[in-house]
Amino acid sequence: MQKRNPQYDILFEPVQIGPKTAKNRFYQVPHCNGMGHRFPRAMAEMRGVKAEGGWAVVCTEECSIHPSSDLSPATLMRIWDDSDLPVHELMIDKIHAHDALAGIQLVHNGFEVANYVSRQRTLGPSNIPTEAFHHVQARAMDKGDIRDCRQWHVDAAKRARRVGYDIVYAYAAHGTMTLPFQFLQKRYNQRSDEYGGSLENRVRFIREILEDIKDAVGGDCAVAFRFAVDELLGKAGLEVAEAEDIVGLLADLPDLWDVNVSDWKNDSLPSRFGGEGAQEEYINFVKKITEKPVVGVGCFTSPDTMVGQIRRGVLDLIGAARPSIADPFLPNKIDQGREDEIRECIGCNMCVSGDYLAYPMRCTQNPTMGEEWRRGWHPDRIEKAGSNDGVLVVGAGPAGLEASLALCKRGYDVILSEGREEYGGRVLLESALGPLGEWRRVSDHRIYMLSQSANAQTYVESRLGADDILSMGCAHVAIATGASWRRDFTGFYHSYPIPVADQSMVISPEEILSGSRPAGKVLIYDNDGYYLASVLAEQLAGEGSEVVLVTPAADIAKWTEFTLEHAHIQVRLRELGVRIVCQQEMIAVESGRVRLGCIYMGTESSIDADAVIPVTARDPDEVLYNALLDREDEWKDAGIKTVTAIGDCHAPATIAIAVHSGHEYARNLDKSAEEASFFRREVGFGGE
């Protein structure tokens, strides 16, 4: 076992939080996961794995305290009454089994919810429409409502103590997500009584909740306060100057300050728009005002950055959501001198989409995320090989790299062959664009880990054909040759090619990713809806090109709403002068111009362009795979048992899905079809 680097010893000092002691400074702050009350076993196992990985504190996601804060259709947690407690107990037991503290984030969402299931009237500080849902308006809370809400917090806190939580949260952060924060915000709190107007009045509600919780459970549980210190809206929102006064008014009331910026898109800032430790400039005042410990986040992956924030007096505890998802064993790896093995978060926010779309979250870097209970996948352990068979993996993109690494960990002898000069596939190409630089961590981590593996042989500039593979004697062959963007404009909106009079005008995304730069005015056609079209527009506009971004959708990069990128993309492209044209389909590419049609009326228009980049659909690069299938009668003599397409070669999708595909292949090698397809389902738990 390697020894810990002494310069990181400070990360493993215990921290007193009220009546509780965290065994080290690693703190998994509350984060959503798309599991909650619908998938309690999966949620519990996921949290338990983090505790096993060395996190001293592991918290829930938002936990609704009352039916008037019904988060449906989101899949989070509830503590409405005692019938909800078995779900919590299951998770707490998993966390406590590894000597970690369990924290619960109590929430009432006020006018952020429409109460679709409970059908109770939405509450708010004032009479205003709901933020997230249409045709529902919040009713201004009267004094009785306020007393009731305080009691709901007390009841939930007592239940939390009874079921075994160590830390209980009051929550006023993340924009308009929480009722206490809505009371703090002048634009939503239009009251004229003692709960509105002056800052001291607007703070009254959260002060009362904190005092109530401390009176109810403070002797047994630590009481934490999650607070957003800046909404980054200027005078239109809560700013640091006002936040300093709020911290001053409440300085020593909670046992722990959990501080961040708002709203969620700024707190979980995509790596395209900010790097590690980006929140320091906003939160560094808090420890100067309060004597209580402070935890904050910043997509921390480097132990040097962590140590720096502690020594500079910014934080006492290193908070993490996304880094704890990408590598649940991050603390243990630092503790064991294995920090070079950390699977660093790339800030793509694929994890966030699980909350928005109500499915168990996934992670681009960590393919075991969400599969810990469902399929029994552990992020740091894997079952031993089922045979002595050798495996050939063709293609070193995200699927091929992950398959090779997982196979090596199982003990298989692996040959990895890559036709290009470098490993990485699409990750290598896409991360060459400035905004996606941190995404290269997907390939860098796996390339490094493979270099440390004695049973991996890796080759670049080694393009194999069917004859080569049949002569190599490997029992199993995984084809991970990826996919290529189509040039004929076929995509989601129209599943047919369009007329192109001048093919020289059409440039594929791969050509841009490989360094080609078109001259003149560039039109990018986004019929994909995820990130790449906007990244290409940002890159080319930043280099001085005149760029028009056209899409048949109602908005550009529509799917990035689920990854917290959408608003940032809109701002960035407008700052760069990119012209945005929505609800227009491509009709034809003609010499020097593009003909468009309104998706509703069919009325035509045209835009002058010197080059057109279609970001539409992708074709799997399956020539080699099909060639081997055509020669299946030769496999036995060649010693081949299986040939399998994985990743984008099998079905083009996200990088996260490609990584998962590679990992799944490695886990299932030598298993029967029934064993490989098996996963557990959540049925019959806790009265759900």
Residues 172 and 283 placed together within one structural domain of the fold? yes
Is 683 part of any domain?
no
Residues 197 and 80 placed together within one structural domain of the fold? yes
Helix axes 532-542, 566-575, angle to 10 degrees: 20
pLDDT band at 524 (very low <50, low <70, confident <90, very high): very high
pLDDT band at 48 (very low <50, low <70, confident <90, very high): very high
Residue type at 32?
C
Is 298 part of any domain?
yes
Is 32 an annotated catalytic residue?
Answer: yes
Tokens read off for 139: 């009713």
Q: Determine contact, residues 535/431, Cβ cutoff 8 Å.
A: no
- Where a domain ends, among 276, 309, 342? 342
Residues 540 and 665 placed together within one structural domain of the fold? no
Provide the pLDDT for residue 685: 63
Catalytic member of 66, 88, 108, 174? 174
Convert the pLDDT of each residue in 133-160 to its tens digit: 667 889 999 999 999 999 999 999 999 9
Tell me which residue of 59, 542, 621 sits closest to 297, measured CA to CA: 59
Percent of the chain with pLDDT over 70: 99
If you average pLDDT over residues 171-188, what whole number do you get? Answer: 93
Convert the pLDDT of each residue in 81-104 to its tens digit: 999 999 999 999 999 999 999 999
Domain of 495, CATH number, reads 3.50.50.60
Residue 687 has pLDDT above 70, yes or no: no
Alpha-carbon gap, residue 625 to 480, rounded angstroms: 9
Is 248 part of any domain?
yes
Residue 622 has pLDDT above 70, yes or no: yes
Convert the pLDDT of each residue in 21-34 to its tens digit: 999 999 999 999 99
Convert the pLDDT of each residue in 239-271 to its tens digit: 888 999 999 999 999 999 999 999 999 999 999
pLDDT band at 688 (very low <50, low <70, confident <90, very high): very low
Tokens read off for 161: 């103590």
- Where a domain ends, among 342, 359, 375? 342
Residue 313 has pLDDT above 90, yes or no: yes
Residue 526 has pLDDT above 90, yes or no: yes
Provide the pLDDT for residue 1: 66
CA 652 to chain centre: 20
101 forms bridges with which residues in the sheet? 57
Residues 428 and 557 placed together within one structural domain of the fold? no
Residue 373 has pLDDT above 70, yes or no: yes
Strands, E assignment, 312-368: 317-320
Is 259 part of any domain?
yes
Residue 294 belongs to domain spanning: 28-342
Residues 189 and 334 placed together within one structural domain of the fold? yes
Residues 615 and 630 placed together within one structural domain of the fold? no
Count the alpha carbons within 13 Å of 360 in the hemisphere toward its beta carbon: 23
Domain of 640, CATH number, reads 3.40.50.720
Residue 517 φ then ψ, to 5°: -130, 120
Alpha-carbon gap, residue 351 to 264, rounded angstroms: 13
Convert the pLDDT of each residue in 199-208 to its tens digit: 999 999 999 9
Is 643 part of any domain?
yes
Is 171 an annotated catalytic residue?
Answer: yes
Residues 570 and 657 placed together within one structural domain of the fold? no
Convert the pLDDT of each residue in 471-523 to its tens digit: 999 999 999 999 999 999 998 888 889 999 999 999 999 999 999 999 999 99
Is 77 part of any domain?
yes
Residues 130 and 69 placed together within one structural domain of the fold? yes
Is 303 part of any domain?
yes
Alpha-carbon gap, residue 61 to 33, rounded angstroms: 7
Mean pLDDT over each residue of the chain, to the nearest integer: 95
Tell me which residue of 425, 232, 437, 424 sits closest to 347, measured CA to CA: 437
Q: Determine contact, residues 213/150, Cβ cutoff 8 Å.
A: no
- Where a domain ends, among 575, 590, 619? 619
Provide the pLDDT for residue 493: 87
Residues 184 and 67 placed together within one structural domain of the fold? yes
Q: Model-level pTM?
A: 0.96
Residues 236 and 321 placed together within one structural domain of the fold? yes
Residues 271 and 315 placed together within one structural domain of the fold? yes
Residue 686 has pLDDT above 80, yes or no: no
Domain of 238, CATH number, reads 3.20.20.70
> If you write DSSP's letter for every residue of 259-272 in order, what string do you get?
EE-SSHHHHT--GG
Catalytic member of 27, 165, 171, 412? 171
Residue 635 has pLDDT above 90, yes or no: yes
Catalytic member of 166, 230, 258, 267? 267
Total number of domains in the chain: 3
Helix axes 143-163, 85-96, angle to 10 degrees: 50
Convert the pLDDT of each residue in 564-596 to its tens digit: 999 999 999 999 999 999 999 999 999 999 999
Q: How many CB atoms sit inside 10 A of residue 49's CB?
A: 24
Q: Which residues neighbour 225 within 8 Å (Cβ) at sequence distance 6 or greater?
A: 169, 170, 171, 172, 206, 210, 250, 253, 254, 256, 257, 258
Comparing 495 with 80, the larger pLDDT belongs to 80
Helix axes 441-451, 398-410, angle to 10 degrees: 30
Residues 288 and 321 placed together within one structural domain of the fold? yes
Is 441 part of any domain?
yes
